[in-house]
Amino acid sequence: MHRRRTALVLTAAIAAAAPLLTACGSDAHPGAAAVVGGQRITVAQLESRVDEVRRAQRAAVPDETQYEQVVSSTSTLTRDTLHNMVLDRVLHRAARDADITVTRKEIQQMRGELERQAGGGKGLETAWLQKYGIAPARLDDNLRLQLEAQKLAARLGTDTSQPAFWKALSKASEELHVDLNPRYGSWDVQKSSRVDAGTPWVREVTTAGGEPVTA
């Protein structure tokens, strides 16, 4: 039961504890939303990932008024998605440093367990989309990360809510030299919260059609 509960809350825990990771902002990488381990996450890749979520939300909520409410309630989706994309790479690095691997069979087993709890595959996809902003096409990738996190915590003799786990991710973050484009904010380590870039003339707007734009 503890394993299942961990799987359900890990993505939310990552979002809450993300400020424990170190990151710096720089505009030295034109066209990049972030640079992690020397690898760029381009603005186009970020917008594509956000569009996946918006299309899935649109399909799940055909009523126009209800969909607009969903868009309004997830107005920070672009920044949240970028932070999750960065943290995915950080977690994968921490798992690799600990010689942790996850097999396809393990992912399928976890998915089967969660589908039974959610009343089927569609129920699981809907739950992950609504709770964590994970598009159905990315579900297996997310479950792989859940398993990596569980195994890493077990290797450290702790769980994903404890400082020892996040210390390992912080170390991986430093190794990867995470560099965020200040357009998407930065980490305030002292306040343990995400802060937006100090550019009030840049604001995120998501149209009802699902295309993220800035104005």
pLDDT digits (tens, 9 = 90+) for 88-147: 998 999 999 999 999 999 999 999 999 999 999 999 999 999 888 999 999 999 999 999
**Structural domain boundaries of the chain?**
2-210
What was the pLDDT predicted at 191?
A: 28
What was the pLDDT predicted at 200?
A: 32
Residues listed for the chain: 215
Residues lower than pLDDT 70 in the chain: 1-29, 186-215
What was the pLDDT predicted at 59?
A: 93
What was the pLDDT predicted at 142?
A: 92
Cα dihedral 116, 118, 119, 122 sign = negative
pTM confidence score: 0.76
What was the pLDDT predicted at 185?
A: 74
